Amino acid sequence: MALVVQKYGGTSMGSIERIRNVAKRVAKTYDAGNDMVVVVSAMSGETNKLVALANELSEFPDAREYDVLVAAGEQVSIALLAMCLKSMGYKAKSYLGFQIPIMTDSSYSKARIEEIPDNKVRADIKEGTIIIVAGFQGVDASGSITTLGRGGSDTSAVAMAAALKADVCEIFTDVDGVYTTDPNICKDAKKIERISYEEMLELASLGAKVLQIRSVEFAMKYNVDVHVRSSFNENLGTMVTKEDKEMEAVLVSGIAYAKDEVKIAVMQVPDRPGIAAKILSPLSEANISVDMIVQNVSEDGLTDFTFTVPQADFKKALSITKETAEAVDAKEVLCDENVTKVSIVGLGMRSHAGVATKMFTALAAEGINIQMISTSEIKISVVVDAKYTELAVRVLHDAFGLSK
**What residues make contact with Mg ion under the rule CB under 5 A?**
9, 151
In the complex, the smallest distance separating the C-beta of residue 49 from ligand ASP, rounded to whole angstroms, is 10
* Binding residue (CB under 6 A) for ligand ASP from 146, 153, 268, 308: 153
Applying CB under 6 A, does 42 fall inside the site for ligand ASP? yes
Cβ neighbours of residue 126 under 8 Å, at least 6 residues apart?
A: none
Instruction: Kindly give the residue spans of alpha helices, DSSP state H, lying in 58-181.
Output: 63-70, 72-87, 119-126, 153-164
* Binding residue (CB under 6 A) for ligand ASP from 14, 61, 97, 151: 151
Residue 166 near residue 3, CB atoms below 8 Å = yes
- Determine the Cα–Cα distance for residues 216 and 356; give it in Å rounded to an integer: 26
Applying CB under 6 A, does 135 fall inside the site for ligand ASP? yes
* Binding residue (CB under 6 A) for ligand ASP from 6, 41, 173, 215: 41
Which of residues 146 and 153 has its CB atom nearest to ligand ASP in the complex? 153
Select the binding partner of residue 136 from Mg ion, ligand ASP, none (C-beta < 5 to 8 A, by kind). Answer: ligand ASP
Which of residues 135 and 254 has its CB atom nearest to ligand ASP in the complex? 135
Angle between helices 72-87 and 63-70 (to 10 degrees): 20
Select the binding partner of residue 177 from ligand ASP, Mg ion, none (C-beta < 5 to 8 A, by kind). Answer: none
* Binding residue (CB under 6 A) for ligand ASP from 4, 10, 163, 371: 10
Helix, strand, coil percent values for the chain (each to nearest 5)? 40, 25, 35
Applying CB under 6 A, does 14 fall inside the site for ligand ASP? no
Strand 238-241 with 194-196, pairing: parallel
Applying CB under 6 A, does 138 fall inside the site for ligand ASP? no
- Determine the Cα–Cα distance for residues 161 and 240; give it in Å rounded to an integer: 14
Select the binding partner of residue 47 from Mg ion, ligand ASP, none (C-beta < 5 to 8 A, by kind). Answer: ligand ASP
Binding interface with ligand ASP (CB under 6 A):
9-10, 41-42, 47, 73, 135-136, 150-153
